[in-house]
């Protein structure tokens, strides 16, 4: 069975600072994918970034990067130069096997302050 663990229920970061949101995963599959989603207060889930288990380079999308450490089974999200609009709930998710299902973590609420 797959499991995603996000140990930080809430975090604060000052505007323009970088922040790291932690995610560890557990799977016995060799092939899997890792995702990060953002959920603003409006409720809609927004896809941010994807990392495949065989990707050699860490994924980056603009201000978002994924710090993938396969041996440690971690896939932390790094947001650089935080903005007030980054305040939201962030979910880490994993897909493995062939069923296209995703397993989600419990989320981290990020608050960006002035």
Partner 1 sequence: DVKVTQSSRYLVKRTGEKVFLECVQDMDHENMFWYRQDPGLGLRLIYFSYDVKMKEKGDIPEGYSVSREKKERFSLILESASTNQTSMYLCASSFGDRAYNEQFFGPGTRLTVL
Q: How far is the CB of 97 from partner 1 (least distance, A)?
A: 7
Whether the CB-CB separation of 78 and 86 falls below 8 Å is answered with no
Q: How far is the CB of 82 from partner 1 (least distance, A)?
A: 23
- Three-class secondary structure of residue 52 per DSSP: strand
Residue 9, both tokens: 């229920």
* Closer residue to partner 1 in complex, CB, 19/93: 93
CB atoms within 10 A of CB 78: 16
d(CA 89, CA 15): 17
Of 49, 46, 43, nearest in space to 23 by CA:
49
* Closer residue to partner 1 in complex, CB, 15/26: 26
What is the total residue count of the chain? 114
* Closer residue to partner 1 in complex, CB, 107/112: 107
Q: How far is the CB of 9 from partner 1 (least distance, A)?
A: 8
Residues that bind partner 1 (CB under 8 A): 4, 6, 9, 31-33, 35, 37, 42-45, 47, 50, 52, 91, 93, 95-107
Whose tokens are 């709930």? That residue is 89
* Closer residue to partner 1 in complex, CB, 15/52: 52
Q: How far is the CB of 74 from partner 1 (least distance, A)?
A: 18
């Amino acid at each position: 069975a797959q499991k995603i663990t996000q140990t930080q229920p809430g975090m604060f970061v000052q505007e323009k600072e970088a922040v790291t949101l932690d995610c560890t995963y557990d799977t016995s599959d060799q092939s899997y994918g890792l995702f990060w989603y953002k959920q603003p207060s409006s409720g809609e889930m927004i896809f941010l970034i994807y990392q495949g288990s065989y990707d050699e380079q860490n994924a980056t999308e603009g201000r978002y990067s994924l710090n993938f450490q396969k041996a440690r089974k971690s896939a932390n999200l790094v947001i650089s130069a935080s903005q007030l609009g980054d305040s939201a709930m962030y979910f880490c998710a994993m897909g493995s096997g062939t069923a296209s299902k995703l397993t989600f973590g419990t989320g981290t609420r990020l608050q960006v302050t002035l």
